Amino acid sequence: MAYINPAPGTASQIVLKLDCGIAEGTLTLGATPLTVPALQDITINAANDVFTWSQLDSTAKKQIATTSTNSVAMNLVVDPTTFFGTTLASVQSDTVAAQGLLGLSRNKTLVTFSLKVQEAAADKYVKGQGYITGLAPTVSADSPVWVSPITLTVTGEYTVSATE
């Protein structure tokens, strides 16, 4: 059995890249995607909803899977340029780098993402589109750098491929 084992401190084992969504369903990254630095952890959620009902002829409930609610949740150490972007008063039509994570969330910009998972046999890329939500930067005496959760709420399906 093989395991996906991201060793801490090893560069490029897990890489998240974002770009402005060209059109819904188009999973192509542009020439200059934003690589999200300083990821602390990442969770890929693929949660199927379930419809449940009871029947008079059965002592157990019946269930069937329906649509899936997908998201990518993570925590990161806040990098000022990545978080705030290169243009403070950015708009939705600006580049992903100009908007930064906060601008992408504020502007409700559809983003295309590619998450590289390095494996011994061959790298895999989980790709999709969605919106950035859940930003909540915090700092404390015990954690003297800003950290923030971030969620990519996925619209549509995940795609897994061997190329970015």
Query: How confident is the model at residue 8, as a pLDDT?
Result: 62
**59-69 as b/e, with b when 16 or more CB fall inside 10 Å?**
eeeeeeeeeee
14-161 fold: Pnp Oxidase; Chain A (2.30.110)
* Phi-psi region at 108: left, alpha or beta (left = phi > 0; alpha = psi -120 to 50): left
Query: How confident is the model at residue 61, as a pLDDT?
Result: 94
Q: For residue 100, which of 150, 164, 40 has the smallest C-alpha distance?
A: 150
Q: Which residues pair with 158 in a beta bridge?
A: none
What's the pTM value of the predicted model, to 2 decimals? 0.81
Say how many Å lie between the first and final Cα of the chain, rounded.
25
pLDDT tens for each residue of the chain, 164 residues long: 455 556 666 655 678 888 887 777 677 777 788 888 888 889 999 998 999 999 999 999 999 999 989 999 999 999 999 999 998 888 888 888 999 999 999 999 999 999 988 876 788 889 999 999 999 999 999 888 999 999 999 999 999 988 87
Interacting residues of 57 by C-beta distance below 8 A, sequence separation 6+: none
The two three-digit tokens of residue 46, written as one number:
């693929």
